[in-house]
Structure 1
Amino acid sequence: MRLGSHHALVTGGGSGIGATVARALAAEGASVTIVGRRREALESVADGIAGAAVAVADVTDRAAVDAAFDTARAAHGPVTILVNNAGVAPSAPFARTTIDQWRAAMAINADAVFHCCQAALPDLRAAPAGRIVTIASTAGLKGYAYTAAYVASKHAAIGLTRALAIELAQTGVTVNAVCPGFTDTQIVDDAVENIRARTGRTPREAREELARFNPQRRLVAPEEVAEAVVWLCMPGSAAITGQAIAVAGGEVM
Structure 2
Amino acid sequence: MLNLPLYQVDAFTDRLFGGNPAAVVPVPEFPADALMQSIATENNLSETAFVVIRGKGKFDIRWFTPTQEVRLCGHATLAAAHVLYKSGGKDLDKLRFRTTSAGTIAVTPLAEAGTYRMAFPTDVPEKTRAGKKLRGALAGLNPKEVYKGTDDLIVVLKNERQVRSLQPNFHIVAQLKRRGLIVTAPGDEVDFVSRCFYPAYGIDEDPVTGSAHTVLTPLWAKKLKKKHLTARQVSTRGGQITCELRGKKVHLTGQAITYLAGQLLLDRLD
TM-score, normalization by structure 2: 0.28
Structure showing the higher helix proportion among its residues: 1
TM-score, normalization by structure 1: 0.29
Structure showing the higher strand proportion among its residues: 2
